[in-house]
Amino acid sequence: MANPKKILNDPKKVVAEMIDGLVLANDGRVRKLPDHAAIVRTDLPDSKVALLIGGGSGHEPLFHGFVGRNMGDGAACGQVFAAPAPDIIYEAAKAVHRGKGILFLYGNYAGDNMNFDIAAEMLEDDGIDVRTVRVTDDVAAAPPERTHDRRGIAGDIYMIKIVGGAASELDTLDEVERVARKAVANVRSIGVAVAAGSIPETGKLTFELADDEIEIGMGAHGEAGVARQKMKSADAVADELLQKLLSDLPFKAGDEVALLINNLGATTMMEMLIVNRRIRQILEREGIKVHRSDVGTWLTVQEMAGFSVTLMRLDDELKHYLDMPAESLGYSRM
Amino acid sequence: MANPKKILNDPKKVVAEMIDGLVLANDGRVRKLPDHAAIVRTDLPDSKVALLIGGGSGHEPLFHGFVGRNMGDGAACGQVFAAPAPDIIYEAAKAVHRGKGILFLYGNYAGDNMNFDIAAEMLEDDGIDVRTVRVTDDVAAAPPERTHDRRGIAGDIYMIKIVGGAASELDTLDEVERVARKAVANVRSIGVAVAAGSIPETGKLTFELADDEIEIGMGAHGEAGVARQKMKSADAVADELLQKLLSDLPFKAGDEVALLINNLGATTMMEMLIVNRRIRQILEREGIKVHRSDVGTWLTVQEMAGFSVTLMRLDDELKHYLDMPAESLGYSRM
Amino acid sequence: MADTLDLKASTDMLRTVSRSVIDQTDVLTDADLAIGDGDHGIGMRRGFEGALESLDATPPDSIENALKAVGTAILSKTGGAAGAIFGTLFRAGSKPLAGRDRLDGEGFAAFLETGLEAVLKRGGVTEGQKTMIDAIAPAARAARTSSGEGLPATVAAAAAASLEGVEATKNMIATTGKARSLGERSLGHPDPGAISVSLILKAMQDFTAKA
Amino acid sequence: MADTLDLKASTDMLRTVSRSVIDQTDVLTDADLAIGDGDHGIGMRRGFEGALESLDATPPDSIENALKAVGTAILSKTGGAAGAIFGTLFRAGSKPLAGRDRLDGEGFAAFLETGLEAVLKRGGVTEGQKTMIDAIAPAARAARTSSGEGLPATVAAAAAASLEGVEATKNMIATTGKARSLGERSLGHPDPGAISVSLILKAMQDFTAKA
Ligand SMILES: Nc1ncnc2c1ncn2[C@@H]1O[C@H](COP(=O)(O)OP(=O)(O)O)[C@@H](O)[C@H]1O
Ligand SMILES: Nc1ncnc2c1ncn2[C@@H]1O[C@H](COP(=O)(O)OP(=O)(O)O)[C@@H](O)[C@H]1O
Ligand SMILES: [Mg+2]
Ligand SMILES: [Mg+2]
Ligand SMILES: [Mg+2]
Ligand SMILES: [Mg+2]
């Protein structure tokens, strides 16, 4: 297996250098906390419910590239594929807090859960109201009766978009939390991997796949999926992913959904658009209406090749927040 | 060299299926012409100067993903890495024309030039005013005294953004052409490749690089660059690219620029942000002010790994058009 | 070995040419991989598949229109530089055949000459820049010289000249197209478009030799 | 072989432990590559490098604070699951040492027990789920049983029990953490965090045996 080939300086410093570059790429819209790997909006209104996002680095532009107007107010950044430490989360939370409480929104992983929980306890000691909503969209990770055991993958993108909008418009933490819980209850994703990514500091690919193999349900750090298979056609892959997604919520005729196809890193947009074509044929056949589509590169796993498909069932309220304009390095909409 | 591993159906049908998927991903904002591989806005105002873009496919989201409000009005799509045929361009042009003439904006390649020229002659026979501006930003392709021999690479992105804005606001083809010529005179790019991409139908990588080699100045179809080198640090790569860019226009102290870093396909955003950090250090040292940054994936070369750096010198007029809101599948800004 | 071809035979020749280029897809792609972007073979295949379809769908009513139909198919199906160039070659080259119901040596030479002229104008390059022109220009000259010796001899002379032209492109440094930036690295490799010219003429030579 | 360690020796032991885990970065990373995301080694290295820095920058004034400083460094430098878990282990585990100026067998057993309790609470998992708990829990029990036999024997018993725990994780199917989705595919592989526990205890054993 060939060595991952990357243009880097010191592999031990990738996160620090990446964050510096990210702040500069934001043209003044965000800043880094002086002593912590956290990103905070510079244009935070004086009073709002705060939305803090975050997680391990290496998934750029998620999470720290999703800080901005109607998106996250701040992000706590861990090392590559490692949840941020409690002190980073704590300081980021203090920096975004505007007196109306803070929603923690992040993917459901043991590391993130524990580190964010420790920070939440520290903040509660300070008298700050913190609520936590964990994204659990990966249907490959656990059966439907154990959604609390599911990983957060590309559903993060719609979650941040919706909760970012809600946290701009709604006045109380209760209300923002309510919208976030509704959104997470209605979002489902599943991925497929074609080739592995690597962690810069180890220089090692996180898994191995034969030249003719794919893995359905691969997680966002190379965690095992549900099935390793021989390479098959785009239509066959789309059919399998959609079958697993649709039967899960389940999505049914008459539902309105948002559809997101996320590049895990090195897959071509051509492939994703070809897959999109098939997905739309299936949804049409099932009587499911697509309110909105997003096809692009948001939650990456370094140079992993593959993609995931996310469906979120919408009502008028979720549509409203999903369709709000938003601005951030990694995701902007008019 | 391992075989390119892609999730596709029939490799001969990639462009047709990609276009179907692309139209669906636009949620009604664009349509495909019934008999031609061309994309046209569905919400075109009744009267405006028309902007037609286009080129070979395989570079998604460019070009056909750049059709939308304040972006291209339509795009003519060729096969993978092959300029669109004149009849596609002709039909796309007819579909976007709103009585005020058409600007053709595309990258400077023999194939594009000839096919667009043939179409322009056909349109002139019909009495339609057509102007052509070719993007020639790749400093690796020819020395400064022969800019007309230079290839168009990621400068396309800023060109479409600016000319798309100008074509929405300005009333005459003359004026839009003037802005486009000013913009192209002020934009410079250079790329670096780390690994090759492949054409789906041939399944062959378009060039070979040793495991420890990079190529500075690689073109957007794998055309040779200016130097093949041993892998070096991100800072050293940035230094070399910037040296070649800055000395070319030349950019000098006091200039205000837009800075765009474009992923050729499989490079991580982490790498690009680390490079961005160094580029900003250099620009700061040179007294060049960055008005606006863009770091992302827009002009790809299938699964090629590498990136390019684009600088555009701005005046107030160019800033105005660059900063306008815009909406398209591949590029949106609030 | 007939000295001239009628409409039916001319059309059959174009069919044979099409199939023969399609058969060589990989050769052309590999040539383009070496100094271009690796799509010349599949581009020419698209064009000549289109030509076959067109000739079958609407059997041409004149030799001029048979050549033009091939050019139109290439122009609209191949894309890229080759689509414009080879499309132009056949479309413009068809014009001197207007009103003629047999293809003879003189008509064939006129086809190449007129096509070449249009191609030179369209592409803005001259001989020596390592393009298909370096195969088609010597072919046109050779055809003119032998145009009095009957169609088979004319075509054979053109084919032979084009092959020499292909060889000659190996010693040229590309100054246009995708190979341009290779500079000296393009030395030793033949030009893909020139190879296409030689394949087309070779197929015509084989056909006229047997017809 | 001293039966107890004073503050200086305890601090030296923690330095030795840190260096020893740092030395095993690749072993831990490879273990995590097999069933996790491949970052456990570099995470533990970050944490224990931070511990060394902290112990050097602010020499601790009590055994309790020495253990706490290590935990705090791990908590803020390691990140991920291991940062929270091993940070909690050392920070919570330091509490029973409050006011004691020597580390003895009983104190060591209390360190493991109290740390374990906090880790169980923090992580919400129990024995048998293929985590570091399957190394630390038997170690704590073994330490308690031998706690009357002097520090070296207590630590040795804990280290041996943790190694058996690592072995036992090979036969467990992960039901938590990144390895969970592997299901049966996790069989045969030891848990990376459990290996870390055994490395830490082994380094303590070697140190106390010589001290
Ligand atoms: N300006 C030109 N004039 C004549 N022939 C040209 C010109 N540009 C390119 N060609 C021919 O086209 C061939 C390349 O064709 P092809 O690979 O199909 O197109 P592209 O370069 O667009 O990928 C070259 O080998 C050359 O012979
Ligand atoms: N809930 C938990 N309770 C106790 N230990 C855990 C828990 N989750 C994970 N671990 C331990 O953490 C180890 C993984 O650490 P590491 O790889 O550094 O973190 P991450 O899983 O975040 O990448 C596992 O091998 C396991 O021993
Ligand atoms: Mg991790
Ligand atoms: Mg081409
Ligand atoms: Mg080519
Ligand atoms: Mg791990």
Which of B164, B186, B208 is at the close of a domain?
B186
What single-letter DSSP state applies at residue C173?
Answer: P
Bridge partners of residue B80, in order along the sequence = B57
CB of D37 closer than 6 angstroms to any ligand 2 atom:
yes
Same domain, A178 and A111: yes
Chains that touch A (3 or more CB pairs under 8 A): B, D
Find the domain containing C100 and state its range: 5-210
Closest CA to C125 of C163, C180, C74: C180
The set of residues, in sequence order, having a beta carbon less than 8 Å from that of A230 and lying 6+ positions away, is A212, A213, A214
Whole-number average pLDDT of chain D: 96
Query: Which tokens sit at A294?
Result: 């997003």
DSSP assigned state of D61: S
Which residues span the domain enclosing B139?
11-186
Beta bridge partners of B191: B308
Query: What single-letter amino acid sits at B116?
Result: F
Tokens 């594009």 locate to: B112
pLDDT digits (tens, 9 = 90+) for A159-205: 999 999 999 999 999 999 999 999 999 999 999 999 999 999 999 99
Per the CB < 8 A criterion, the answer to whether A142 and D182 are in contact is no
Across the interface, whether the CB atoms of D83 and A83 are under 8 A apart is answered yes
How many A×D Cβ pairs under 8 Å? 113
| Count of helix runs (H) and strand runs (E) in chain C | 9, 2
pLDDT score for A281: 98
Q: Which residue of B has its CA nearest to A197?
A: B268
List pLDDT tens digits, range C169-198.
999 999 888 888 888 888 999 999 999 999
State whether D81 and A114 contact (CB < 8 Å).
Answer: yes
The residues with which B215 forms a beta bridge, in sequence order, are B193, B228
Ligand 2: does its nearest atom lie under 6 Å from the Cβ of D165?
Answer: no
What is the per-residue pLDDT across B24-38, written as a single tens digit (0 to 9) for each?
A: 999 999 999 999 999
* Mean pLDDT, range D83-104, rounded to an integer: 98
C-alpha B256/C-alpha A86 separation (Å) is 40
Kindly report the protein residue whose alpha carbon is nearest to atom 8 of ligand 2.
Answer: D177
pLDDT confidence tier of residue D185, bands split at 50, 70 and 90: confident
- Same-domain check for residues B246 and B126: no
Number of domains in chain A: 2
Label residues A13-32 b or e (16+ Cβ within 10 Å = b). ebbbbbbbbbbbbbeebbbb
**Ligand 2 atom having least distance to the Cα of A81:** 23
DSSP-derived secondary structure for A189-227: EEEEEEE--EETTTTEES----TTEEEET--TTS---SE
Q: Amino acid identity, residue B195?
A: A
CATH number at residue B277: 3.30.1180.20
Q: Is the CB of residue A291 less than 8 Å from the CB of residue A256?
A: yes
Selecting from B2, B267, B302 the residue whose C-beta is nearest the C-beta of A211 gives B2
Is A34 inside any structural domain?
A: yes
A268 contacts on B by Cβ (under 8 Å): 6, 58, 60, 265, 300, 302-303
Q: Of B153, B170, B186, which closes a domain?
A: B186
Residue B328 lies in a domain: no
**Do the domain assignments include residue A251?**
yes
Regarding an ipTM greater than 0.90, the answer is yes
What residue ranges in chain C does DSSP mark as E strands? 5-6, 102-103
Could you tell me if B37 and B67 are in contact, meaning their C-beta atoms sit under 8 angstroms apart?
Answer: no
CA distances from D21 to B327, C183, D184 (A): 52, 55, 29
Tell me the C-alpha distance between D124 and D175, whole Å: 12
Do B179 and B256 lie in a common domain? no
**pLDDT value of position D158:** 98
Per the CB < 8 A criterion, the answer to whether D135 and D152 are in contact is no
How many Cβ atoms from other residues are within 10 Å of residue C206's Cβ?
17
Enter the tokens of residue A324.
């709000």
Report residue D180's pLDDT band, with 50, 70 and 90 as the boundaries.
confident
Same domain? For B165 and B310 the reply is: no
Nearest CA in chain A to B289: A27
Query: Do D63 and D103 touch, CB atoms closer than 8 A?
Result: yes
Q: Which chain B residues touch A265 with a CB distance below 8 Å?
A: 266, 268
Query: D103 is written with which tokens?
Result: 């580390």
Distance of alpha carbon B321 from alpha carbon A157, whole angstroms:
29
In this complex, the chains that touch B, judged by 3 or more CB pairs closer than 8 A, are A, C
Pairwise CB contact (< 8 Å): A276 & B237 = no
Cβ contact (<8 Å) for A303 and B268? Answer: yes
Is residue B90 located within the same domain as residue B176?
A: yes
Within-domain flag for B330: no
Which ligand is the nearest neighbour of the Cα of C77?
1
Residue D27 tokens, joined: 């072993």
How many angstroms separate the alpha carbon of residue D130 from the centre of ligand 6? 14
Q: Which residues of chain A have pLDDT under 50?
A: 1
Q: Distance, CA C36 to ligand 5 centroid (Å)?
A: 5
Angle between helices B110-125 and B86-96 (to 10 degrees): 50
Residues with CB under 5 A from ligand 6 (ion): D 32, 36-37, 39-40
Pairing of strands A102-107, A50-57: parallel
Asked if residue A330 belongs to a domain, the reply is no
**Last residue within a domain, chosen from A134, A166, A186:** A186
- Find chains touching chain D: ≥3 CB pairs under 8 Å: A
In the sheet with B305-313, reading across from the earlier edge strand, the strands are B227-230, B213-216, B187-195, B305-313, B256-263, B289-296
Name the closest residue on chain A to residue D120, using Cα atoms. Answer: A114
Determine contact, residues D85/D135, Cβ cutoff 8 Å: no
Nearest CA to ligand 1 atom 8: C177
Helix or strand run (H / E) with residue C107: helix C105-123
Structural contact between residues A101 and A110, judged by C-beta atoms closer than 8 angstroms: no
Any idea which residues of A carry the catalytic annotation?
A: 59, 221
DSSP states of B142-166 as a string? S-GGGGGGPPP-THHHHHHHHHHHH
The tally of CA atoms less than 13 A away on the side-chain side of residue D69 is 23
Judge whether B159 lies within some domain: yes
**Residue identifier of the C-alpha nearest atom 12 of ligand 2:** D82
Dmax of chain D from CA atoms? 48
What is the model's pLDDT at position B3? 66
The ligand 1 atom nearest the CA atom of C37: 23
pLDDT band at residue B194 under the 50/70/90 scheme: very high
d(CA D100, CA D83): 26
**Contact check, Cβ <8 Å, A79/D76:** no
Give the mutation candidate from A264, A273, A308 for the B interface (greatest B CB count, under 10 A). Answer: A273
D125 CB within 6 A, ligand 2: yes
Give me ligand 5 centre to Cα C129, in Å. Answer: 16
Q: According to the model, what pLDDT value does residue C183 have?
A: 82
Cα distance from B223 to chain C (closest Cα, Å)? Answer: 6
In a domain, A2, yes or no: no
3-state secondary structure of C58: coil
Question: Which stretch of DSSP H or E encloses residue D166?
Answer: helix D151-170
Q: What value does the mean pLDDT take over residues D180-200? A: 93
Q: How far is the centre of ligand 1, averaged over its atoms, from the C-alpha of B111 (Å)?
A: 7
Output the six-digit token pair for D75: 């908590």
What is the percent of chain D with per-residue pLDDT over 90, rounded to a whole number?
Answer: 92
Average predicted confidence (pLDDT) for chain B: 96
Dihedral angle at the C-alpha atoms of C117, C119, C125, C126, nearest 10 degrees? -40
Do B31 and B63 sit in the same domain of this protein? yes
- Window B:219-258, CB contacts with C under 8 Å: 219, 221-226
pLDDT for the residue C144: 98
* DSSP three-state, residue D50: helix
What does the pLDDT read at residue B151? 95
Residues B114 and B200 in one domain: no
Q: Are residues A35 and A100 in the same domain?
A: yes
Same domain flag for A16 and A164: yes
Residue by residue, DSSP assigns B77-125 as: EEEETSPPPHHHHHHHHHHH--SS-EEEEEE--HHHHHHHHHHHHHHHH
Task: Determine whether A53 is exposed, middle or buried from the number of CB atoms within 10 Å of its CB (0-12, 13-18, 19+).
Answer: buried
Distance of CA D68 to the CA centre of its chain: 13
Q: Provide the Cα torsion A261, A264, A267, A269; round to 10°.
A: 30
Q: Which residues of C touch B226 (CB under 8 A)?
A: 181
Contacts of A296 in chain B (CB under 8 A): 61, 297, 330
pLDDT the model gives residue A1 = 42
Chain A residue numbers with beta carbons less than 8 Å from the beta carbon of B271 are 6-8
CA dihedral for A216, A217, A219, A220, sign (positive or negative): positive
| Beta pairing class for A102-107 and A256-263 | unpaired
CATH number of the domain bearing residue A21: 3.40.50.10440
Residue of D nearest to A139 (CA): D181
List beta partners, residue A41.
A30
pLDDT for position A223: 86
- Contact assessment for residue B107 and residue B55, using Cβ atoms and an 8 Å cutoff: yes
Chain A partners within 8 Å of B2 (Cβ):
2, 211
pTM strictly above 0.95: yes
3-class secondary structure for A52-82? EEEEEECCCCCCHHHECCCCECEEEEEEECC
Rounded mean pLDDT, D77-84: 97
> What residues pair up with A199 in beta bridges, in sequence order?
A204
**Left, alpha or beta for A67 (phi > 0: left; psi -120 to 50: alpha)?**
beta
- The 10s digit of each residue's pLDDT in B144-164 is 999 999 999 999 999 999 999
- Chain A residues with CB inside 8 Å of D33's CB? 202, 204, 206-207
Q: Which residues pair with B326 in a beta bridge?
A: B333
Pocket (CB within 6 angstroms of ligand 1): B 82-83, 110-111; C 32, 36-37, 39-40, 43, 80-82, 85, 119, 123, 125, 131-133, 176-178, 191-194
Q: Is the CB of D195 under 6 A from ligand 2?
A: no
Q: Does C170 touch chain B (CB under 8 A)?
A: no
User: Which residue has a Cα nearest atom 2 of ligand 1?
Assistant: C123
Ligand 2 geometric centre to CA of D182 (Å): 15
Residue A248, amino acid: D
The shortest C-alpha distance from A140 to chain D (Å) reads: 8
Q: Where residue C65 sits, what CATH number does that domain have?
A: 1.25.40.340
Res D153 pLDDT > 60: yes
Segment B63-95, tens digit of pLDDT: 999 999 999 999 999 999 999 999 999 999 999
Gap from B317 CA to chain C (nearest CA, Å) = 34
Is the Cβ–Cβ distance between C76 and B91 less than 8 Å?
no
**How far apart (Å, rounded) are the C-alpha atoms in residues B174 and B179?**
9
Domain count, chain C: 1
- The sign one gets for the Cα dihedral D168, D173, D179, D185 is positive
Mean pLDDT of chain C: 96
List the 148-177 stretch of A: residues with Cβ below 8 A of D: 149, 151
**Judgement on whether residues B171 and B247 belong to the same structural domain of the protein:** no
The confidence band for B1, taking pLDDT boundaries of 50, 70 and 90, is: very low
